């Protein structure tokens, strides 16, 4: 218990330190990014090499800004605006983005029933959860492969709840994000949810993706499960409590508009 407390305190100080640095870095990056965006507009006839350098400057300043944003949103913790929502809409929306932005060598497919139960959640945060998991899946498949997002209803019974302390008896919506990528070895698997743990090269990974996922899902009363086999792939399962009792589970018609059309 003492070790746990120590760990929690250490993580808290890391968070405070990181958000302090992130704030300062943000102030430094803002004029750099603005300059890199403005200069090509002011000097449209500059030589190609100069324009190219400015482009590189902009891309990297933006990358830095994204990193800062991730650190800040992580350190700020998670406090969302919860509404009743249909995860199928979010999944469809995410799949659309993936199909447009991921390399063509990655085949994206979804498998979600129409009668998926509703959950109570923050759509921006849950969107982030799906994106973080899918970006990891993409990074695990540098030579291409299959990325599948599926979802199903699950009624957790007493036996299950007894075996998994994070689970409660009742209805859940389970989302599975699976890839056919490199997989995760045992010793790394133990650490992937730690903040700042990454195996990616500097500049490409912050190590905050999965700890953000866990933070968000815990604040939704859910939990996350991961299975992986080196060389064949990984799947992450996200469990979110469904809204209402089993008899009163909402069907889609009763749902307030969430702004996520298909
Ligand atoms: P980051 O993506 O910035 O490294 P994450 O917290 O999202 O941070 O992930 C931590 C690490 O977990 C990754 O660096 C990678 O080693 C491992 N990982 C996560 N998802 C997968 C996956 N789908 N396949 C293989 N490894 C993964």
Burial class (CB in 10 A: 0-12, 13-18, 19+), 214: buried
pLDDT tens-digit readout, 139-174: 999 999 999 999 999 999 999 988 888 899 999 999
Nearest CA to ligand 1 atom 18: 136
Say if CB 130 and CB 116 are below 8 A apart.
no
Q: Read off the pTM.
A: 0.75
Q: Which residues make beta-bridge pairs with 145?
A: 106
Cα 124 to averaged position of ligand 1 atoms, centre (Å): 21
Does this complex have an ipTM over 0.95? yes
Dist CA 134 CA 74 (whole Å): 18
Nearest CA to ligand 1 atom 2: 205
Nearest CA to ligand 1 atom 13: 198
pLDDT tens-digit readout, 72-106: 776 666 567 889 999 999 999 999 999 999 999 99
Which atom of ligand 1 is found nearest the CA of 137? 23
Cα 243 to averaged position of ligand 1 atoms, centre (Å): 30
User: Measuring CA to CA, which residue among 60, 73, 95 is closest to residue 204?
Assistant: 60
120 pLDDT more than 60:
yes
Residues with CB under 6 A from ligand 1: 132, 136-137, 140, 179, 181-182, 184, 188, 192, 197-200, 205-211, 234
Say if CB 164 and CB 208 are below 8 A apart.
no
Per-residue model confidence (pLDDT) at position 49: 94
């Amino acid at each position: 218990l003492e070790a746990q407390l120590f760990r929690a305190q250490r993580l808290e100080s890391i968070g405070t330190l990181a958000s302090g640095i992130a704030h300062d870095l943000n102030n430094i990056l803002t004029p750099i990014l603005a300059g890199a965006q403005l200069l090509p507009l002011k000097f449209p006839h500059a030589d190609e090499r100069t324009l190219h350098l400015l482009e590189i400057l902009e891309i990297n300043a933006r990358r830095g800004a994204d990193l800062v944003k991730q650190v800040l949103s992580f350190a700020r913790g998670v406090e969302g605006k919860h509404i009743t929502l249909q995860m199928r809409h979010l999944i469809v929306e995410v799949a659309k983005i993936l199909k447009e932005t991921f390399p063509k060598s990655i085949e994206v497919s979804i498998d979600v029933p129409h009668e998926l139960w509703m959950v109570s959640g923050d759509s921006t945060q849950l969107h982030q959860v799906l994106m973080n998991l899918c970006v990891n899946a993409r990074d695990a498949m540098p030579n291409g492969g299959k990325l599948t997002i599926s979802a199903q209803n699950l009624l957790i019974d007493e036996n299950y709840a007894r075996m998994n302390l994070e689970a409660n008896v009742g209805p859940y919506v389970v989302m599975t994000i699976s890839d056919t990528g490199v997989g995760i070895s045992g010793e790394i698997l133990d650490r992937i949810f730690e903040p700042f743990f990454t195996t990616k090269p500097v500049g490409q990974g912050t190590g905050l993706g999965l700890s953000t996922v866990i933070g968000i899902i815990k604040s939704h009363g859910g939990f996350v499960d991961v299975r992986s086999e080196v060389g064949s792939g990984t799947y992450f399962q996200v469990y979110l409590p469904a809204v209402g009792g089993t008899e009163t589970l909402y069907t889609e018609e009763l749902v307030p508009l969430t702004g996520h059309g298909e």
